[in-house]
Amino acid sequence: MNRYSLGVDIGGTFTDIVLLDLASGHHESHKELTTPDAPEVGVMSGIQKLLARQDVPPAQIVRVVHATTLFTNALIERKGARTGLITTEGFRDVLEIGRERRYDLYDNFLELIEPLVPRDLRREVSERMRPDGSVDRPLDLEQLERQADALVADGVESIAVAFLHSYRNPQHEAQAIEYIQARHPGVSVTSSAEVAAEIREYERFSTAVTNAYVKPLAIRYITLLEQRLEEAGIHTGMFLMQSNGGLVHASEAKRLPIQLLESGPAAGALVAAHFGREIDEPKILAFDMGGTTAKMSVIDDGEPLVAYTFEAARQKRFRPGSGLPVRISTIELIEIGAGGGSIAHVDHLGLLKVGPLSAGSKPGPACYGKGGAKATVTDANLLAGYLDADAFAGGTMTINPELARQAVSEVAKPLQVGAGECVPGIIDVVNETMAAAARVHITERGGDARQYSLLVTGGGGPLHGYSLARKLRLKRMLCPPSAGVASALGLLIAPPKVTRVKTMSRQLSTLDMNELEAAYQEIEREAIQTLAESGVDRSQPSVRRYADMRYLGQGFELVAELPAGPYGEGTGETILDTFGKVYLSVFSVKPPVEEAEIVNIRIAVTGKAGGEQAISSAPAGQVAGAPVGHERRTRDAYCPDLSRWVPMPIYSRPELAAGTTYPGPLILEEPASTLIVGSHGHLRLLPNGVISIELTERN
C-alpha cells in the first residue's frame, strides 16, 4: 500500500495543498481560494479535490503537516479572544509602560501600540518573588479567587498569569494556573514562565498575553480541523509548522500557539535552504511572493538565519519598537505588503502606488470576477501577457482579461495614460518596492546583495523574480520544482523541533561548568520528552546548544551557538572564545573587556525530518524540447529588458531537457506558477529539477 503525506499552507489568497508519495518522491499540488471566515472549509475542499484527482484513498495518508496565517491575522486585525491579565501587585501597567521608548523620535503624532489587554482587564494580586527565586511574599489565594472571578464575570475567555521574576521560580504562577483551571475549567489559561522563561518583564508579559489572546482561537481551529480530517477518513496525527522552522504536534500547538505566528513563511525558507544545499549554493536570498504579501529571508551556508525575538502587528512595518514584542525563536524574515492581490492606486500627489492594501481572496483581483473592481498586481500580470487566463492556479479557475483591463483603466485615467502603458508601471513599482526592502534587509546584516542567488517561490515569485534579480544586480536566479506551492512542500521536509530557554544571569568566570552542564541537560530532557509525547521518534535527536551572552557592562545580548556538551574543566575559555568570534562577526571589533555573562541558555532538539529524502529522489523532467514539426506556442508579453511587448515562446517544465540552455525572453508554465525570463536571462534545468537562470549584461 502506498503511503502519502499532505502539506497544507493557508495564505491570504490561496490555500496550497501538496500530496507527496513517500516512496517515489512524486508530488502533486492543488490551489484552493482561502475561505477566511472558516479556513477549514477551504482546506478540506482542496484536500478532497486533490485526493479524488489523484485517486488516493484517505486511509493512505500517514502524515498531515499544516501552516497557517490565522493567528498572525488575529493579532493584526485584533480578532483574538477577550483576554485578562493577572499579575503581581503594582505591575498592571507594564504592558503600557514598555521600554519607555519612542520608535520614531521626530513623529509628533506617534501612535503607540495598544496593549492586547485593556487596563480594566488587568488585575493585581499580592505575591512577590525575589530575583534569586526566593519567596518574598506568598501568593494570596483569596485575592486571586476574587480577581479571577471578576475577570470571568467581565466575559474574559482567556487569562494570562505573569508574575514578577517567575522565570527564576514559577511556583506562584503554577499555583495560580492550577487554581484558575479548577475554578473556571472553561477558561483558557497561560503561564508566562511556560511561554517565555526569560528575564525582562515587559517582553515576558507581552509574550504571555499574546499567547493567551490567540489560544482559544487556536484550540477551536485545530480541534475542528482534526475532526474534519477524521470525518474524511484521514486517521493520522497532525503537525504544525513553528516560526523556527520545526514541527510540533497539534497538542503542543494548542498549548503554545504563539510559536506558530510565522509558520507559512518559515516553510518557504526551509525549502529554499533545502534546494540550495542540493546544488551547493551557499548564499541564497529566498523570495516568496503570494497573493497578499512577499517574504524574504537570508540563507547562509545552507541554513536560514534565526532571530530570537519578534515583533507582531507593527504600527509601522519597518519600525522596530512599533509592535508587540514576542520572545520566540523564528526564521528571520522581512515581510513586504506586495502580493498578487496588492491594489494599485494613485496617491494625493498623483504618483502611482501599489499596496500595502490587498484584495485578498474576497473579493480578490478584478480578473477573478468575484466582485473585485480595483486593479491589482495580478490584473497587471494578466494584461502583460504573463498569465494564461484559461489555466490560472493550476487550472482550478479562469480569469477575465476584460475585467482586468477595466480596473487598470481606472488607475490609468488620473495618470493620463492608457491601460497598456499603466501595466508596466504597476509591475515596476511593486518590483522596486521589493528590491528596496531586500537591499535594506541584507545590508543591515552586513551582507552584499550581489553575492547572493535569488531563489523564487510562491505564485508571484517566478513572475517577478527576474526583474527583482536585475534590480539587485544578481548573477543568478533559481526556481525550484513546484515553486508555486513551495511553502506547502517545505512543510513536508521540515523536522519536528522543540526549543527551550532558561535564564542563568551569571558571569562566566564564576560559573561552575558542571552547574551549566546540569542546566542544559535539564532543558534538554524537557525538550526530548515533549518530542516523545508528540509521537515522534526520539532516538538520536540532533541537539544544539546556544547562549544569550554579553560582555560585562553591556545591556543586551547576542545569541551564540556553543560547542556540544558535556561541559567541564576548561569549557569556560572555549565558550568565551566562541562568543568573541560571534561578536566580531556582528560588530567587527570587541570591547576591551575579557569578562562575559551568560544571561539565558537555549537548546534546540530536532527529530528526523519526514520527507526530505523522498523529495530529493524525485526526478527532473527529461523530455527535450517540442516534438519535431511542432511549432512553438507564443504569447505577446511585455519584456522588462526591452520595454516593449514581444512574442515570447512558451515552455512547460516537462519539456525541458536537463543541461540544455534556453535563451530568454521566454515564459515557462507549470500548474501552480509561471516563470518569466527576460532577454538577458539564460535558463537551464539542473539534474535535481531546479531551474537556474544566469543573468548577463546587468544594469
625-682: per-residue pLDDT in tens? 444 344 678 999 999 988 899 999 999 888 888 888 999 899 999 888 899 999 999 9
Q: Give, rounded to a whole angstrom, the gap between the first and last alpha carbons of the chain.
A: 54
Question: Tell me, which fold does domain 80-213 have in CATH?
Answer: Rossmann fold (3.40.50)
159-214: per-residue pLDDT in tens? 999 999 999 999 999 999 999 999 999 999 999 999 998 999 999 999 999 999 99
Outline which parts of the chain fall under CATH 3.30.1490. 497-608
Alpha carbon 537 to chain centroid, angstroms: 25
The CATH number that domain 4-75+220-260 falls under is 3.30.420.40
d(CA 321, CA 328): 16
Asked if 65 and 610 count as a contact pair (C-beta separation under 8 A), the reply is: yes
The CATH number that domain 497-608 falls under is 3.30.1490
What is the pLDDT at residue 440? 81
- CATH 3.40.50.720 applies to domain 265-336+431-491: no
What is the pLDDT at residue 498? 87
Classify strands 342-346 and 352-358 as parallel, antiparallel or unpaired: antiparallel
Outline which parts of the chain fall under CATH 3.30.420.40. 4-75+220-260, 265-336+431-491
Task: Provide the grid cell at 387.
Answer: 498569465
SS3 content of the chain, % helix, strand, coil (to 5): 35, 25, 40
Nearest to residue 419, comparing CAs of 428, 408, 427? 408
d(CA 651, CA 666): 8
What is the pLDDT at residue 611? 59
What is the pLDDT at residue 573? 93
What is the pLDDT at residue 615? 62
**Which residues, at least 6 apart from 70, have a Cβ–Cβ distance to it below 8 Å?**
10, 39, 217, 221
Alpha carbon 30 to chain centroid, angstroms: 21
Amino acid identity at 193:
A
Classify strands 330-331 and 283-289 as parallel, antiparallel or unpaired: unpaired
**3-state per-residue secondary structure call for 627-693:** CCCCCCCEEEEEECCCCEEEEEEEEEHHHCCECCEEECCEEEEECCEEEEECCCEEEEECCCCCEEE
Which regions in the chain score pLDDT beneath 50?
617-630, 698-699
Classify strands 558-562 and 476-479 as parallel, antiparallel or unpaired: unpaired
Maximum Cα–Cα distance for the chain, whole Å? 88
